[in-house]
Amino acid sequence: MPKKVSFKLYVEYDGSKFFGIQRQSFSPTVESVLKTAALKIFGNDVMLLYCGRTDRGVHSVGMPMWLTVESLVCLDSFKVKEALNSVLTDLRVTKCFKQFSNTLNIRKSTFGREYFFLFSKEEPSVFLQHMVGSVECVIDLEVLGLLSNLVVGRFDFMNFSNKNGNESNGTWRTLYSCRVKKLNAFSEFQRGDGQSYCLSVVGQGFLYNMIRNILGAFLACSQNRLLVEEFEKALTRDDECKRFYKTVDPNGLVFRNATYINY
């Protein structure tokens, strides 16, 4: 008699190859590619769950996903990882653990999600065009540091969503940390001064395009197109700031990890 067995996978992928993570009818997504690979190996009864969605063009170095299959034999997690990677091309399973409890709510039990955004003020080399975003503007680290401190805490981020407040769980979100730092990496592949930057954000959850909009507003303040005071008011819905910034392209945005309560 076949028994159901679950595995927790950590998956990395180049988001430029996919139309996001969630399955779509006619476009390749992370879910559809991974599920197709699992069906080839295990047969017809396969279930795949994940902690949250990433949009088209967003990368991952550690997306946790749960794969449940039916098997007549005891499955070894290392062999499951190797079998999946043998048929996958544009994504890779980096870790695989057998799960012995099915009580976890994959999405609601998430304590925090971590993203980072790599960007440069110069047009990146062709080698990095999908991995480093080009913002082509003045970058003032002192201003970005000040703004990073302002967004930490619980706020109404409606002004930083591209759904105009039509979010299923409301627009209030909690950010645990946010920082911008200068990187020394990639300088050999960059034009101009070769300088790259990294925005790191850890939060309870995020609205649609929220990180891309926050970075866009940060850069608008760095260029003096948006005042810091106006940005701060936008966190309380007292001021509309979208007219001063644009949503940054997804190139360079990477999902790093998710943490779970008591797990």
Which tens digit of pLDDT belongs to each residue from 125-173?
A: 776 777 777 777 778 899 999 999 999 999 999 889 887 666 777 889 9
Q: What is the pLDDT of residues 250-260, one digit of tens each?
A: 989 999 988 87
* Matching residue, tokens 């971590």: 114
pTM: predicted TM-score of the whole model, two decimal places: 0.87
CATH fold match for the domains 3-99 and 111-260: yes
Q: Domain 111-260: which CATH class? A: alpha beta
d(CA 178, CA 111): 16
Pairing relationship of beta strands 59-71 and 46-50 according to DSSP bridges: antiparallel
List the chain domain ranges: 3-99, 111-260
What is the average per-residue pLDDT within 194-219? 90
Residue 122's pLDDT band, with cuts at 50, 70 and 90, is confident
Phi/psi for 89 (5° steps) reads: -120, -55
Instruction: Report domain 3-99's class.
Output: alpha beta
